[in-house]
Structures are given as structure tokens and as C-alpha cells.
């Protein structure tokens, strides 16, 4: 049988027959799938020698050198035949030659047009197909040139579909997003895994498995939920907002029921949707804590409990860095400290040790029992005071922080404030329905109004007096920012009497007004103080009182209202005394929908304020239209009327009675007056129906009234008064 590859097999002359179990050079070339000298030179010399050495003992280096020589000769012959083919020699010009036409490109250069193609053709040397082929060959060469001993993650493993792809005009010109290619590649690998473990995953699809799998920490991934979130971006209403937009019940009846936001489910479901957490994510956060179970560690950490106590392994399984671990455990530069302006306030000292880590530690009595890091006898850093439940809390906290994108300390304080705001908080600090509602309403207000997490924590419970890092506590940033007075405002638990006249009290009131943007008037600071004392029963320089001041002011500023308008609007929307939530907020029992609590009133206020703005109205106008208020009267008018009243009383006290005037026997020109009156009778002027005090009040109201309503004044009747 004639040799099919004589040139290939003549690269080397074998001197001896191959040893037992070895191949000769011809068999080796067939085994390596090398059929020409061009296949050989595509490999590097070292790579070719290593591959040949696995099958035969011939001199592979000599064979490679010969292949390079033959390939060079073949290339030269091909170019020579293409440029000077037989019968196409250049025509020699002579005097006898006919020169009918001048020189042309075709006559001077005998091009082989069959070897050319259009620039846009995929057969072109610079076409995308040629580039992809060259890139693929280069990647294979790089993969084979490595000297490492580890298993190689080759292109055939990463992109197994490349070898089966068809290169044509359609595939080259079609634009395919990189995300589509990534999804197809991942889906193929995942589907292979599901097929190999069909007894575990049954007949679930890839998306169904991703939605319930909890390790690695990037999971669970709910494709349908993510598609909804992406479809409702920009200025579209988000998940949860749609429920409030579609709700047929508006907060107008002043009823204790909580129907606003209800569509097919109760209103609290809409607030949970505002958190943008998928159903499986919510289940992961709210399910009961682990008991001693190895399967739970494998499903959530991909490792056992013993190995996780080592910090290096814990970081590897969770994807955290050492800095993030310090932040998670509130240690190092993330260790919290108490504000210097709380010398004798009733602050829970245990909270200082657990601030920022209350949830991950669960219940604890002192700082010695909190989660921390230490070095063991082998010099390895390990977790201190870890338990099965705390490992469960850690993985929930890590996932929630990545979903909500808040610093660990702020997220922990927000969750703790939600728990302390509940009417009957449980003994165990766990994430429940109220926690998810708080996260949802916070994310909504943050997107719409820019409300920060620490501010929302203060609205729920109290102003944080602890700080982390170089940032002051929220209390100091609000009341002691820039220190308008040389003495900072301190939480010394002393009584606060707004009616006192001493300089110290006036200084404190000035600091409060400057910090909260209030004025020292009855409808501003006076209104806030009065409602706080009415509901809490006392006024002190403590976290509870100042937090109530801050809460009423911050909510009013959030919606663009005054503190008085904000309280009145809240009372108009909900049941009686709903505005008490601004002073002493509360959350109902977790899992129930009635009565409306602090979060519900916030969402109702959001609707009411937007409705007023869209209709060009105001709270004052709405109250007058609903006959809930009489004549509007601001502090300026009240002060002027008070002064006019004092002036009138003073004049009345200084009037001389008529009998005393008659006793003076003063001359009277009655005749001349009466004659002139008879000769020139004037028009009769009726008495004015209003007193001068009312007319001046009316003029002041028209000139400087802050409300767009008409002041209705009733005439005052005074017998023998000089003001008529």
C-alpha cells in the first residue's frame, strides 16, 4: 500500500526498530493526529519533542528541524508558482510588436485573481473569522507551553461549544451580548451537573435550583425576581410601590383598619416587597435558627463547623476579607465608642460592647461572651465564643449586608431599632416580619427622599449615641455639629423646663432650635415641646426626649411640612391621635396587619403629601375645607393683637369719667357748634361694624399672612368703648 504521507514519514530515518510497547515514528504521527509538516510547525519545538517522547524513542528534535526546512521550501515553491506560472511569462516587447493600447495594470501585473476575495468576505486574511482562528490557535499554544503541575483550565473546558460553532456570514455579523454567552456557558455546565445528580435535584431546571441553593454566598439567585427588579428601574414604580399604586383603599376614613396598600395580599406584604428581597432570601432570613446539624453547615457554608472556626477558612468560604471580618465583628478600627456628651444619661452599658454586633451575638450579658478573634497555640487566628446559632447568625448577616448594601454597624442598629420599637419584642433577637417591613420602608424612603439608615433608626427608636471609626455619633452630628455654643449639648438626664427664664435653659433651647431648624415660637418649638410632654409625660435632657424632638422635626422636613402641619395631617389620615407615632413610635405584633403602626403612617403620609402637591393644595387649606380649624392666625398677628389689647386696656384705665369733666365747669360753645351744624349739615356716617383691633388684625393678615385663606372676624361689642 503506497504511503499517504511520504514527506512526513521521511523526516527521520529510524536506525533500529521500536522497543516493546513503543511506536515507530509513522505510528506516532498518526497517534498525535499530525498529517503534514505544517501541523508539526504549528507546535513549538519543545512541545513537539515532549509529545513524541511519550510514544517513540526517535530523535524528535531532528524531525522538527527537517519539518521546518521542508515547510520553508514548500512556501517558496508556492509563491514562485503563483507569481510566474508556466505559459505566463512576461511578453517581451519588440519594434515589430503591435501597440494598439497603452500599458495597463492587467498587462503589467498578471495577478491570480482566484487567490483574492472581497474585503468583507469571511475568507479574507484579515476577516473576523481569520482573527478568531488565529486567536484560537494562539490560545492553544499558550495552554500547551505551560510548565506547571496543576490541572490546566483549558479553553476546551471553559468554552466547550467553540469546537462545534459554525463560522458563516450569519454568525460572524450577528452581535451577541457577552452576558448571553456567559449565561449559555454557565447553563451548560450547570445542566451537566444536574444530570449527573438527578437523584438530588429530580427534574428541576437550572433556574429553579439556583433559586433555592444557598452556597456559595452569591446564592440564592431568583431569575424571575431579578428580571422584575431590572424591569422596574429608572423612574418606574418598584416592587411594593405597585401595590400602593393599585390599592383601591386610600387612608381617608380615619379608621383603625390598615387597608391602604392591599391588593391581593395584606398591606404588610407590600412593605416586605419594598425590601427587594426574593421569597427565598426572606425565608433564609426568617426561618428558625440552626441546631447541631452538619447538613446545615454544608448547605450554607460548604464546610463543617470545626474548619470554620479557623479565620482563614472562614474567610475563604464566605468571600470576606480580613477588613470586612473586623467590621462584621466590630473590632479593631470598627470598635464602637460612646459619645463624650452622655455623662449621666441612662445608656445601656452592655449596648456599648455589643453596638454593631447585637444580631450576630444574639443574647449576651457582657463583653467577654461576644464573638471575637484570638490566636491559638499554633499561631492560627480562630473565632472565639462561636456556637452553632452564631454561625447561622453570621451567614445571615453577611448575606443581608450584601443584599441591602449598608455598613454592618448601621444595618445592625437598624435591625435593633426595629426590635426595640415593637410592642412586645421577643427574648431572642431574630429577624421577623417587622424587620423585613422596616428594611422595605427604609429602602423606599432612601430612594425617594434620601433618608439615611442611621436617621431611620433614630425615627424608630432613639438617636444613636455610639460612633464607629472617625465619624461622630448621629446625636453629636445633629446637636453638636460645629458647636454653636462653647458648651456642647449633653445628655445629663436633667429636667428641661421650656418656661424657665435662666440663661442655661435659654442656651439649651437655642441649641435645640439651631440643630433642628426650629424657631422659638408656639407653633414651632413650642408645639414640639408640648406634644412631647403630653405623650411622654416629662421633659428631660435624655435620649428619649431629644429623640422625640428630632423625630417630629425630621419627619416634617422629610415631607416638606412644618411640625404642626405634619402632626395635623397624620391625625387627618389615621385614627385618633395617630400623630402620637411621631413622638412615641410603635410596631404592631409581627405577622399582623392591624392596627396601623409607625411604618403604615409613614406610607400614608407619603401618599397624602404627594396628593397635596399634585393638586396644588396645602395642609392648612385642607383643614379649613374639612372644617377642622377656625381662622388661621400666625404668631405675628397674635403678638400684635396682644399689644393692641394691652393698649386699649391702658387707655380705658386712663379715661376721665364724664361727671368729673362736668364738675370742672369748662366753657361750652354749643350755640356756635349747633348753628354751624344746622347751616352746613354733613352726611351721616354709620358706625363701623368691627372694632379697630379687628380691622388692624385683618390688615396684618392680608399683608403678611402665611396661609392662603380668608380670615373671618366677628364684631366685638364694647359698651362705651373709645375703640368704636
pLDDT above 90 for 8: no
Helix (H, G, I), strand (E, B) or coil at 405: coil
End-to-end CA distance of the chain: 140
Name the residue with higher pLDDT: 663 or 612. 612
pLDDT in tens, 136-146: 888 888 887 77
Helix H or strand E encompassing 381: strand 381-384
Q: For residue 348, name the pLDDT band (cuts at 50, 70, 90).
A: low
CA distance 520 to 534: 18
pLDDT above 90 for 25: no
**Given this model, what pLDDT does residue 481 score?**
82
Those residues with Cβ within 8 angstroms of residue 219's Cβ, 6 or more apart along the chain or in another chain:
210, 213
In this prediction, residues 189-195 reach a mean pLDDT of 87
In this prediction, residues 559-576 reach a mean pLDDT of 85
Name the residue with higher pLDDT: 115 or 680. 115
Q: For residue 100, name the pLDDT band (cuts at 50, 70, 90).
A: low
**Given this model, what pLDDT does residue 716 score?**
40
Residues 464, 413 contacting (CB under 8 angstroms): yes
Residue 603 φ/ψ, nearest 5 degrees: -70, -35
Helix axis angle, 543-558 to 563-573, nearest 10°: 80
Q: For residue 115, name the pLDDT band (cuts at 50, 70, 90).
A: confident
CA distance 627 to 623: 6
DSSP letter at 522 equals T
CA proximity to 208, closest of 145, 263, 265, 280? 280
Residue 623 to residues 346, 545, 567, 574, 630: CA-CA distances in angstroms? 40, 29, 12, 14, 9
Domain limits, the chain: 1-82, 185-192+200-231, 482-558, 631-657+687-724
Average pLDDT score over the chain? 82
Q: How many CA atoms lie within 13 A of 51 on its CB side?
A: 19
Most confident of 26-35, 261-270, 404-413, 687-696: 404-413
DSSP letter at 204 equals -
In this prediction, residues 453-473 reach a mean pLDDT of 93
In this prediction, residues 512-539 reach a mean pLDDT of 92
**CA angle, 598 then 601 then 602, to 5°:** 90
Those residues with Cβ within 8 angstroms of residue 69's Cβ, 6 or more apart along the chain or in another chain:
none
pLDDT in tens, 488-504: 888 988 999 988 888 98
CA distance 682 to 676: 10
Considering only CA atoms, give the Rg of the chain. 44
DSSP letter at 422 equals B
pLDDT above 70 for 350: no
**Given this model, what pLDDT does residue 443 score?**
96
Please confirm whether the linkage preceding 256 is cis (ω < 30° from 0). no
In this prediction, residues 584-606 reach a mean pLDDT of 89
CA distance 265 to 591: 12
CA distance 296 to 5: 63
Residues 489, 511 contacting (CB under 8 angstroms): yes
Residues 329, 357 contacting (CB under 8 angstroms): yes
Q: How many beta carbons lie within 10 A of that of residue 550, not counting itself? A: 24
CA distance 208 to 201: 10
Q: Strand 466-468 and strand 336-338: pairing?
A: antiparallel
For 53-82, give the DSSP string. Answer: HTT--S-HHHHHHHHHHHHHHHHHHHHHHH
CA distance 56 to 62: 14
**Given this model, what pLDDT does residue 482 score?**
72
Q: How many beta carbons lie within 10 A of that of residue 467, not counting itself? A: 20
Please confirm whether the linkage preceding 595 is cis (ω < 30° from 0). yes
Helix axis angle, 45-53 to 60-83, nearest 10°: 130
**Given this model, what pLDDT does residue 345 score?**
52
pLDDT above 70 for 483: no
Most confident of 295-299, 454-458, 596-600: 454-458
Residues 276, 233 contacting (CB under 8 angstroms): no
Name the residue with higher pLDDT: 114 or 135. 135
Name the residue with higher pLDDT: 687 or 106. 106
Share above pLDDT 70 across residues of the chain, in percent, rounded to a whole number: 83
Asked which of 29-38, 207-216, 557-566 is least confident by mean pLDDT, the reply is 29-38
CA proximity to 152, closest of 144, 141, 160, 163? 144
CA proximity to 512, closest of 537, 541, 492, 486? 541
**Given this model, what pLDDT does residue 561 score?**
93
For residue 697, what is its C-alpha cell? 388684625
Residues 246, 263 contacting (CB under 8 angstroms): yes
**Given this model, what pLDDT does residue 4 score?**
64
pLDDT above 70 for 364: no
Locus of grid cell 514548500: 74
DSSP-H helix ranges across 461-562:
474-479, 503-516, 525-536, 543-558
Helix H or strand E encompassing 394: helix 388-404
Asked which of 12-21, 320-329, 633-642 is least confident by mean pLDDT, the reply is 633-642
pLDDT in tens, 220-258: 999 999 999 999 988 889 999 999 999 888 887 656 677
Residue 467 φ/ψ, nearest 5 degrees: -130, 155
Phi-psi region of 100 (alpha: psi -120 to 50; beta: other; left: phi over 0): alpha
**Given this model, what pLDDT does residue 636 score?**
67
CA distance 505 to 497: 7
CA distance 582 to 601: 9
Q: How many residues does the chain have?
A: 724
CA proximity to 532, closest of 506, 552, 560? 552
DSSP letter at 587 equals B
Which residues on neighbouring strands pair with residue 495, listed in sequence order? 540
**Given this model, what pLDDT does residue 254 score?**
59
Amino acid at each position: 500500500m503506497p504511503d499517504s504521507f511520504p514527506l512526513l514519514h521521511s523526516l527521520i530515518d529510524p536506525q533500529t526498530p521500536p522497543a516493546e510497547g513503543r511506536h515507530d515514528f509513522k505510528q506516532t504521527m498518526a497517534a498525535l493526529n499530525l498529517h503534514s509538516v505544517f501541523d508539526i510547525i504549528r507546535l513549538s519545538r519543545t512541545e513537539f519533542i515532549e509529545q513524541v517522547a511519550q510514544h517513540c524513542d526517535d530523535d524528535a528534535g531532528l524531525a522538527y528541524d527537517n519539518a521546518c526546512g521542508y515547510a520553508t521550501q514548500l512556501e517558496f515553491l508556492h509563491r514562485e508558482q503563483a507569481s510566474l506560472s508556466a505559459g505566463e511569462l512576461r511578453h517581451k516587447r519588440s519594434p515589430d510588436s503591435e501597440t494598439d493600447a497603452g500599458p495597463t495594470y492587467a498587462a503589467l501585473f498578471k495577478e491570480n485573481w482566484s487567490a483574492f476575495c472581497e474585503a468583507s468576505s469571511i475568507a479574507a486574511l484579515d476577516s473576523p473569522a481569520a482573527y478568531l482562528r488565529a486567536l484560537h490557535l494562539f490560545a492553544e499554544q499558550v495552554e500547551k507551553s505551560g510548565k506547571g503541575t496543576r490541572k490546566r483550565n483549558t479553553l476546551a473546558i471553559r468554552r466547550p461549544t467553540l469546537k462545534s460553532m459554525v463560522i458563516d456570514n450569519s454568525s460572524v455579523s450577528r452581535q451577541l451580548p457577552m452576558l448571553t454567552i456567559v449565561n449559555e456557558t454557565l447553563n451548560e455546565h450547570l445542566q451537566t451537573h444536574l444530570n449527573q445528580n438527578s437523584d438530588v435535584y429530580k427534574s428541576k431546571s437550572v433556574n429553579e435550583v439556583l433559586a433555592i441553593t444557598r452556597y456559595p454566598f452569591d446564592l440564592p439567585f431568583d431569575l424571575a425576581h431579578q428580571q422584575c427588579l431590572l424591569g422596574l428601574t429608572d423612574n418606574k414604580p418598584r416592587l411594593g410601590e405597585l401595590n400602593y399604586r393599585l390599592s383601591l383603599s386610600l387612608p381617608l376614613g380615619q379608621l383603625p383598619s390598615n387597608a391602604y396598600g392591599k391588593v391581593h395580599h395584606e398591606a404588610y406584604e407590600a412593605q416586605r416587597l419594598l425590601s427587594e428581597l426574593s421569597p427565598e432570601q426572606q425565608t433564609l432570613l426568617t426561618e428558625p435558627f440552626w441546631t447541631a446539624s452538619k447538613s446545615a453547615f454544608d448547605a450554607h457554608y460548604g464546610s463543617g463547623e470545626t474548619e470554620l472556626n479557623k479565620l482563614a477558612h472562614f474567610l475563604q468560604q464566605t468571600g470576606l476579607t480580613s477588613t470586612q471580618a473586623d467590621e462584621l465583628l466590630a473590632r479593631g478600627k470598627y470598635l464602637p465608642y460612646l459619645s463624650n456628651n452622655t455623662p449621666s444619661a441612662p445608656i445601656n452599658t452592655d449596648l456599648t460592647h455589643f453596638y454593631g454586633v447585637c444580631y450576630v451575638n444574639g443574647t449576651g450579658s457582657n463583653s467577654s461572651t461576644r464573638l471575637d478573634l484570638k490566636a491559638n497555640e499554633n499561631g492560627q487566628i480562630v473565632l472565639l465564643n462561636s456556637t452553632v446559632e452564631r454561625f447561622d447568625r453570621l451567614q445571615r448577616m453577611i448575606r443581608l449586608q450584601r443584599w441591602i448594601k449598608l455598613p454592618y454597624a448601621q444595618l445592625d442598629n437598624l435591625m435593633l431599632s426595629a426590635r426595640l420599637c415593637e410592642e412586645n419584642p421577643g427574648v431572642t433577637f431574630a429577624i421577623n416580619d417587622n424587620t423585613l417591613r422596616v428594611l422595605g420602608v427604609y429602602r423606599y424612603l432612601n430612594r425617594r427622599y434620601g433618608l439615611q439608615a442611621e436617621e431611620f433608626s433614630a425615627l424608630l427608636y432613639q438617636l444613636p449615641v455610639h460612633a464607629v471609626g472617625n465619624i461622630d455619633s448621629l446625636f453629636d452630628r445633629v446637636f453638636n455639629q460645629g458647636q454653636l455654643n462653647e458648651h456642647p449639648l449633653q445628655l445629663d438626664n436633667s429636667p428641661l423646663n421650656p418656661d424657665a427664664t435662666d440663661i442655661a435653659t435659654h442656651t439649651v433651647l437655642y441649641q435645640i432650635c439651631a440643630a433642628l431648624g426650629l424657631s422659638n415660637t408656639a407653633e414651632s418649638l413650642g408645639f414640639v415641646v408640648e406634644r412631647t410632654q403630653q405623650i411622654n409625660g416629662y421633659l428631660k435632657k435624655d435620649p428619649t426626649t431629644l429623640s422625640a424632638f428630632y423625630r417630629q422635626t425630621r419627619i416634617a422636613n422629610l415631607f416638606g411640612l412644618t411640625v404642626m402641619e405634619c402632626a395635623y395631617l397624620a391625625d387627618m389620615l389615621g385614627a385618633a391621635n395617630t400623630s402620637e407615632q411621631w413622638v412615641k413610635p410603635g410596631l404592631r405584633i409581627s405577622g399582623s396587619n392591624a392596627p396601623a403602626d409607625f411604618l403604615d403612617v409613614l406610607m400614608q403620609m407619603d401618599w397624602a403629601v404627594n396628593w397635596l402637591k399634585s393638586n396644588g393644595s396645602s395642609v392648612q387649606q385642607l383643614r379649613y375645607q374639612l372644617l377642622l380649624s377656625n381662622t388661621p392666625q400666625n404668631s405675628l398677628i397674635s403678638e400684635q393683637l396682644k399689644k393692641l389689647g394691652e393698649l386699649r386696656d391702658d387707655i380705658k384705665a386712663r379715661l376721665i369719667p364724664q361727671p368729673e369733666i362736668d364738675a370742672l365747669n369748662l366753657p361750652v360753645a354749643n350755640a356756635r357748634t349747633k348753628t354751624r351744624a344746622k347751616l352746613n349739615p354733613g352726611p351721616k356716617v354709620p358706625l363701623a361694624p368691627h372694632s379697630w383691633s379687628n380691622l388692624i388684625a385683618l390688615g396684618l393678615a392680608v399683608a403678611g399672612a402665611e396661609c392662603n385663606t380668608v380670615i373671618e372676624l366677628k364684631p366685638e361689642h364694647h359698651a362705651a368703648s373709645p375703640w368704636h
